[in-house]
A and B are shown apart, each in its own frame.
Chain A
Amino acid sequence: MKNLVILGAGTSGTMMANHLVSKLPKKEWQITIVDQYKTHYYQPGFLFLPFDIYNENQVKKVGKKFIPKGVNYVQKKIEQIFPKENKVELEDETLNYDILIVATGCKIAPQETEGMKGENWHKSVFDFYTFEGSLALRNKLRDWKGGKMVVHFTEMPIKCPVAPLEFVFLADSYFTKKGMRDKVDLTYVTPLGGAFTKPKATAALSHLMKEKNIKVVTDFNIERVDNEKNQIVDYADTTVDFDLLVTVPTNMGDEVIERSGMGDDLNFVPTHHNTLQSIDNENIFVIGDATNVPASKAGSVAHFASETLTDNILLYIEGKPLKEEFDGHANCFIETGKNKALLIDFNYKFEPLEGTFPIAGIGPLKLLKESIFNHWGKLAFRWIYWNMLLKGIPIPMVSRNMSLKGKKIN
């Protein structure tokens, strides 16, 4: 009997278990998936929870429900991976593997910025990338009287890089609806050169910030949070005052990657961009937020990657060359507030372009343009996530590689 071990039962790990259980012969392969946590969170929902659009129960389910029969589900802490010995040490047992899939994701590391996880953490300084942070922020916003709200991210790469923008758009809507928009001063602070950084998106979307009366501070590289003065301070000594800071801290891969000596400075595992095989070990594959590939860290990217990776695991077992197929494809709805959203579709090579999706010339979804239909798409996606995506069921008409059909290239 051979062993395939998946580390992490988040979006990527769960999808891989579902893909592989029907493809690997049961008499020859035992599939094991390891994750110490019982709850599977719908992370895109953390954007809606602070604004009372979703409640707690809509963003979490018991993870076990999504692990298919025939897969051995181990709920234990992973201590260390020993790539040279083909084994993984858990808290009280050791697993040997023939093939390892690393799907340990990434998470926020507020401790990387001085003062961020200080006395005001989850009091006036919040994250919304964890269930706890998002929920604490909801409770804060429910009776917040207004003031300076600063929405900020620390540095790239972060999970779902558009989430801070979506947050500031939804905040504008939320306070407008509550009849208190005039009491809230909204500022978006980014380390990059603009709120939008790709030429087509900048041209199509820059008006949104002005329309919604959101101030933008660019090129702000945070050095520390000053908890006395309620300011964020950057390395050039510029400051931004806040009453309420909503920040996305540095994102890092799991500590187990660091303990195992397998990652870069941010604990991301060096991975082949197109095959998803790890650079250092041929029987280790990496998927989702755990990789260092220059694609967005997002469930949608993991979804497309999981299809290529499934094929490549089978090819690897047969001793055949791997497909260099994965193109960094991402397909994401972006909330812009007031019940509208954008849709973007892009990959390593092509920036988000205008056009129609998924049917060229027809749509019904519009790319890089606000529409109510796109917003419905975003809300429908929660159902798709739990019922199709995690189970590895292909989404009709949405292919693993990006298509240029229906897109305006110039």
Chain B
Amino acid sequence: MDLNIAGIRLDVTEDGYLTDLSQWNKEIAIEIAKENGIELTDKHWEVLYWIQDQVKNDVALSVRGIKKSGVLDIKEFYELFPGGPLKISTKIAGVPKPKSCI
């Protein structure tokens, strides 16, 4: 599938996650955040970059990992990305959502 965000055609999964992190940029993140009712602050950006680093280093993302990250505590994480913090933050960060085999 492809999707037009911020004037750029992007490769995305059926549920709207970018399949190629190299297509990601800040404008795209702002647009995806808006669609999820989030206005990005400095703290959001810090978390998004941290998530991208984790993914680049093959570290599995989990809420427990957030707790150990030193970037923010879990309550803050829920406040920044209400609803499903991992599901939403990964979408904005342009990385795959945490998933299982099926």
Contacts and interface: CB of A to CB of B under 8 A. Distances in A.
Interface of A: 112, 154-157, 161-162, 165, 191-193, 196-199, 201, 205, 218-219, 221, 223, 235-236, 250, 264-266, 270, 292-294, 296, 330, 332, 334, 344, 346, 351-352, 368
Contacts of A219: 83-84, 86-87
A192 B96 CA distance: 12
Nearest to B102: A201
Contact of B101 (A112, A162, A270): A162
Given A221-B74, A235-B63, A264-B57, 13 more contacts: A156-B62, A156-B98, A156-B100, A161-B101, A165-B102, A191-B62, A193-B87, A197-B97, A218-B84, A219-B84, A235-B74, A346-B101, A351-B102
Contacts of B78: 235-236
Q: Please give me the 6 A-B residue pairs with the lowest Cβ-Cβ distance, nearest first.
A: A201-B102, A197-B99, A221-B63, A155-B62, A219-B84, A161-B100
Nearest to A199: B14
A293 B58 contact: yes
A192 B83 CA distance: 12
Contact of A344 (B15, B57, B102): B102
B21 to A, nearest CB: 14
Contacts of B63: 155, 191, 221, 235
Interface string B62-81: 11110010000011011000
Given A221-B63, A250-B64, A292 B58 contact: yes
Contacts of A156: 60, 62, 98-100
Contacts of B14: 199
B60 to A, nearest CB: 5
A192 B101 contact: no
A232 B12 CA distance: 35
Interface residues of B, number: 26
A199 B98 contact: no
B59 A264 contact: yes
Given A235-B74, A264-B59, A270-B58, A198 B64 contact: no
B25 interface: no
Given A219-B84, A265-B68, A192 B99 contact: yes
B75 A235 contact: yes
B23 interface: no
Contacts of A351: 102
Contact of B102 (A162, A218, A265): A162
A330 B58 contact: no
Given A219-B84, A235-B78, A265-B65, A334 B102 contact: yes
Nearest to B84: A219
A157 B87 contact: no
Contacts of B100: 156, 161-162, 192, 196-198
Contacts of A330: 101
A214 to B, nearest CB: 15
A218 B99 CA distance: 12
A196 B59 contact: no
B97 A193 contact: yes
Contacts of B86: 191, 219, 221
A221 B65 CA distance: 11
Contacts of A191: 62-63, 86, 98
Contacts of A265: 59, 65, 68
Among B13, B60, B98, the most chain A Cβ lie within 10 Å of the Cβ of B60
Nearest to A264: B59
A352 B58 contact: no
A165 B15 CA distance: 22
A266 B101 contact: no
A264 B65 CA distance: 11
Interface string B11-46: 001110000000000000000000000000000000
B101 A296 contact: yes
Nearest to A235: B74
A301 to B, nearest CB: 10
A146 B93 CA distance: 44
B58 A294 contact: yes
